[in-house]
Chains A and B, each alone.
Chain A
């Protein structure tokens, strides 16, 4: 039998224990779905694609943020005990469902959006894939905003202003987008202000946990270098 302790409630609540049969090749998503269908019809949780493409199913599995559809029970809970909680650092809506709004608000604050400027190009931009900027952008472009890195990051918990690894990683991909230079100064100011890239202490929890194997730590290091260059150039 598999024993699951699942968070029930909102910000205030408690863990409730459920038991379901252990099944071959069971994923955590399989398990929580079975609990919802057979024992807890009011349990709220998210999933969509269930094949590791959308990132909707992220939650804390035994104190580690992961995608439940890509987490085998046998790997995550060799002793047959699972503890499921909503993603850390997000406001809880109900049970395992969190409010993603603050995460996306920080995404916008970091200027994590393409800004071609008042006079967009009329010709296609030629960006050879081997250029350093394109390779730097490629390294971070696959982010699907699942929030796992944000949940993993201790600094997000310590500093409410911290923009977080996902937003900063996205900003770095845009810094390296040669078509997006219109508001480069504004983006740099956004990612070097309070809660900006300087707040990263290289714990590397984001890089360890990212299900897409993105390394926000190194994207943030790139932003730090940019910040240093700008700060030193400003004082000359």
Chain B
């Protein structure tokens, strides 16, 4: 099923938007508990948090983090599109709207990746 969906998604922007929203949502939902647990380390003081985050201070982790920032931006943008269609009766040129959501997500993901220094 999934292969056929992906093939069809490239010709159907509404389906693509729905799949992107769903995948990014799943990624965020799975990531959140870990994020909260890591931040909770601050209860043991700032050095505890700093020590843990030093472990993630490498290019691979930065790229994955950029992916998460991109996923957040993507879910946000696709979600706003849905809210506009559902609550504001927004009519759109779907391909344009979905492209804008993707561009928004890439912008934030890339901006994060390029800004986050390793060892900073």
Tell me which residues from 171 to 229 in chain A have a Cβ below 8 Å from any Cβ of chain B. 201-205, 207-208, 217-218, 221-222, 224-225, 228
Q: How far is the CB of B115 from chain A (nearest CB, A)?
A: 33
Q: Cα distance A228–B14 when bound, in Å?
A: 23
Contacting pair B86 A224 (CB below 8 A): yes
Contacts of B22 in A (CB 8 A): 201
The reply to whether A202 and B87 form a contact with Cβ atoms under 8 Å apart is: no
Contact A218 B91 (CB under 8 A): yes
Interface majority SS (helix, strand, loop, mixed), chain A? helix
Q: B82 touches which one: A202, A208, A218 (CB < 8 A)?
A: A202
Complex alpha-carbon distance, A201 and B85, angstroms: 11
B17 near A205 with CB under 8 A, answer: no
Complex CA gap A207/B13 in Å reads 12
Query: Which residues of chain B are near A3, meaning CB under 8 Å?
Result: none
Residues of B within 8 A of A218 (CB): 85, 89, 91
A222 to B86, CA, bound (A): 7
What's the Cα separation between A179 and B13 when bound, in Å? 38
Is B56 an interface residue when CB atoms closer than 8 A count as contact? no
Find out whether the CB atom of B12 lies under 8 angstroms from the CB atom of A205. yes
**Does B15 reach chain A (CB closer than 8 Å)?**
yes
Please, which residue of chain B has its CB at the minimum distance from the CB of A157?
B1
Are B86's CB and A208's CB within 8 A?
Answer: no
Q: Cα distance A201–B13 when bound, in Å?
A: 13
- Interface residue? A154 (CB, 8 A): yes
Which residues of chain A are within 8 angstroms of B116 by Cβ–Cβ distance? none
The verdict on B68 contacting chain A, using a C-beta distance below 8 Å, is no
The minimal Cβ–Cβ distance linking A178 to chain B, given in whole angstroms, is 19
Chain B residue, CB-CB nearest to A221: B86
8 interchain residue pairs of minimum CB distance? A204-B14, A203-B15, A203-B14, A201-B18, A221-B86, A224-B86, A203-B18, A221-B85
List 12 interface pairs A-B (beta carbons < 8 Å), by A numbering: A202-B17, A202-B82, A203-B12, A203-B14, A204-B13, A205-B12, A205-B14, A208-B12, A217-B14, A218-B89, A221-B85, A228-B87
